[in-house]
A and B are shown apart, each in its own frame.
Chain A
């Protein structure tokens, strides 16, 4: 790493000084396992092109700068099992993001055919067979709680793995970094190009690259709005200039943010803008899997040559800096766990490759728990990484997570598709009629949550002698029940008058609404009948 300012270094100290005497033994141990001689033939050609810092840079006490220029990260291409997993997650998440709005779901003539749709105008949320109404927002709250618990679960098991693989910022950064490599070439070519003066070739490359950035960003913003309207119609309207202004504004904003955050801010988002790394530290413990550099095995570092000259003096790390070169956030994991590490494990892939090349066992950098690190450093046997995933804490998280999910599914299954809310008039609370009877008026909201019109019967229950009529019929037609047709997927507001004979006292009673179809779903709401003399 060139230009690494000590003041920017991680807060985690290299744990070398204090532990040297213990670990030298372990280092010997580590050596003992790898009997093969270190071969200089496998010295990585890339490695020689990297400028190394002296192993122990002299610590200067520079005056603290107030603000620091960003050091651009040029991360190197790498292949390996974690990289392949990252490709897989990237493919799946992007596919979900871009394809979901295009899935159709037949809901009949009265409801949209889009499988996943946030219908803000009509305040409905459709998700395959599920339809959420505004008053059922607790389902969304439940999903958010599940998402949070899911993050806790993942974090307590494998640290910041969400960040490393599935976080949108990571996925898009990764995508943009692939674009970088595609247009500008790999790390060294990119560094050369960055340093080169702006000529026609560089200009052309930059233009090409930023165009690709923009296309991806536009696609990202464009896909987002598809969730809020019928996707095929929206695409047509969008290009015909007929879509809602909000659609264009959203696309522009999301294009710009994707362009900036994915194309330029990248690791700055993960390190400085995102609150999650600050929170996650509270959720990890000594049993969580973290990407760890096993310094007891790697230190002291030395090149392959040095190690050959002084057998037994050096650890397994040959200071080739491959782990730094591949890191998407540009950190040196050998400085210990740090906030900038998103647990993407690309450094593991890189180092494993180096270890394979120089003929030493893999895993100098590896997913390990703090507990296992201590054990390994002391030469004790370690446990399987699965133990980190299946342990009481993660199981507890999982059980809570799962029971919320089951509870929500259950609630979804048994919920009624009719609803009734009643608000009695309070001004005035009652009306005395000329024949001495008393009238109260109410605003009823009949909710039909099915995608077809339904006839519903409204009845007054528990108010002796009471009759009701609504604003569409006269008092002459007052009866104990009234029938209304509620349009598909809608709430029908009905003003209802209830009249009770003279002498009725102030009391509670029920409105009941029942669907007049095979389901006979009903909902009951209690309300109050006020009369003169009734205490208020």
Chain B
């Protein structure tokens, strides 16, 4: 600032800076500029009075309008909730197996189910519903279903859970432990036979015999499984607890059996419906077929 001087031709004082020999004249700003500044200051004061502004130790000043982003969110949410009620009412009315016929409603159910899934189911089944083989949570995207993959079966599983304690109608199946029942050779033979059902190992006559005697009651003579009992299919490519001989052996001797909580009473029926629709929509959903008495009819082999 020390270098202030008067610019000769214009008679104006310079501001005192110099850049490469170029100096700036100290030309006054227009007055409205000043007024604009004052206006912004006034606006700032008004804003501080009306809205939350000054941060204090625990919270900010509240402002006389009482506005808060939380309050705004709650308001918006209630609007959204209101908009949802019609859909929810419709969903409550429609029987779940008829849901796919109403594609718009179905789409809304899937969307609602997707977010409910992230909240309630992704902890075990993963956010992409791919489950976990190491932990034994089934993949819900594939076409292998322990208890049936149509909308009704899925809903039933959701409502009652699997091996859920204290639920009368829960899905319940028990694989007995064969610890001590087989000697080492027998164990290898039966393991190999199970693997052979899906073409993963050569079978032996003794293995086949052991399988027929001990396993086929539930898992079926050809390893086709039994959904009535929740007995897994053994002749496909999907293994809940792994398909290596060691994993199989462990499962025969001391079987792991997963548990799924029941959601009745914890989630409302409409949310459960939406969750069922979402799970069904993941790509492995089966068409619902009115099953006659005969439990042997394979639901997924309908044309």
| A residues adjacent to B (C-beta < 8 A) | 6-11, 13-14, 59-61, 64-70, 265, 268, 272, 425-428, 431-436, 439, 441, 471-472, 474-476, 497, 502
Distance, CA A434 to CA B283, complexed state (A) = 13
0 or 1 for each of B10-23: is its CB under 8 Å from A? (1 = yes): 11110000000000
Task: Report yes or no: B283 in contact with A439, Cβ–Cβ below 8 A.
Answer: yes
Q: Does B155 contact A (CB under 8 A)?
A: no
Which of B11, B126, B127 lies in contact with A9, CB distance below 8 A? Answer: B11
Other A-B pairs, 18, CB within 8 Å; known A11-B25, A61-B11, A474-B287: A6-B12, A7-B10, A7-B13, A7-B26, A10-B10, A13-B9, A64-B12, A66-B34, A68-B31, A427-B126, A428-B128, A428-B141, A431-B130, A431-B141, A432-B142, A433-B237, A433-B238, A502-B237
Q: Does B29 contact A (CB under 8 A)?
A: yes
Q: Assuming A7-B27, A433-B143, is B238 touching A61 (CB within 8 A)?
A: no
The number of chain B residues touching the other chain, given as a range, is 35 or more
B contact residues around A13 at 8 Å (CB): 8-10
B contact residues around A59 at 8 Å (CB): 11
| B residues adjacent to A (C-beta < 8 A) | 6, 8-13, 25-34, 103, 126-128, 130, 139, 141-144, 198, 233, 236-238, 281, 283-284, 287, 303
B contact residues around A6 at 8 Å (CB): 10-12
B contact residues around A69 at 8 Å (CB): 30-31
Distance, CA A72 to CA B130, complexed state (A) = 74
A interface SS class: loop
A contact residues around B12 at 8 Å (CB): 6-7, 9, 64
Task: Report yes or no: B237 in contact with A61, Cβ–Cβ below 8 A.
Answer: no
Q: Assuming A64-B12, A441-B283, A476-B303, is B31 touching A432 (CB within 8 A)?
A: no
Q: Assuming A434-B236, A435-B237, A436-B237, is B10 touching A11 (CB within 8 A)?
A: yes
Which of B103, B127, B142, B287 lies in contact with A434, CB distance below 8 A? Answer: B142
A269 to chain B, nearest CB (A): 11
A contact residues around B27 at 8 Å (CB): 7-8, 11
Which of B28, B126, B233 lies in contact with A8, CB distance below 8 A? Answer: B28
Task: Report yes or no: A67 in contact with B31, Cβ–Cβ below 8 A.
Answer: yes
Closest to A438 in B: B237
B217 to chain A, nearest CB (A): 22
Distance, CA A474 to CA B27, complexed state (A) = 77
Q: Would you list 18 pairs from A and B whose C-beta atoms are within 8 A, ordered by A residue?
A: A7-B10, A7-B11, A14-B9, A67-B30, A69-B31, A426-B128, A427-B127, A428-B130, A428-B139, A431-B139, A431-B141, A432-B139, A432-B237, A433-B142, A433-B238, A434-B144, A434-B237, A472-B103
Listed from nearest, the 5 A-B pairs whose CB atoms lie closest are: A13-B9, A427-B128, A428-B130, A434-B236, A59-B11
Distance, CA A10 to CA B198, complexed state (A) = 93
B contact residues around A60 at 8 Å (CB): 11
A19 to chain B, nearest CB (A): 13
B contact residues around A8 at 8 Å (CB): 27-28
Task: Report yes or no: B10 in contact with A432, Cβ–Cβ below 8 A.
Answer: no
B contact residues around A268 at 8 Å (CB): 30, 32
Closest to B199 in A: A436
Closest to B26 in A: A64
Distance, CA A7 to CA B14, complexed state (A) = 10
A contact residues around B237 at 8 Å (CB): 432-436, 502
Which of A7, A67, A428, A434 lies in contact with B33, CB distance below 8 A? Answer: A67
A8, A67, A70, A502, most chain B CB atoms within 10 A: A67
Which of A67, A428, A474 lies in contact with B34, CB distance below 8 A? Answer: A67
A contact residues around B238 at 8 Å (CB): 432-434
B contact residues around A434 at 8 Å (CB): 142-144, 233, 236-238
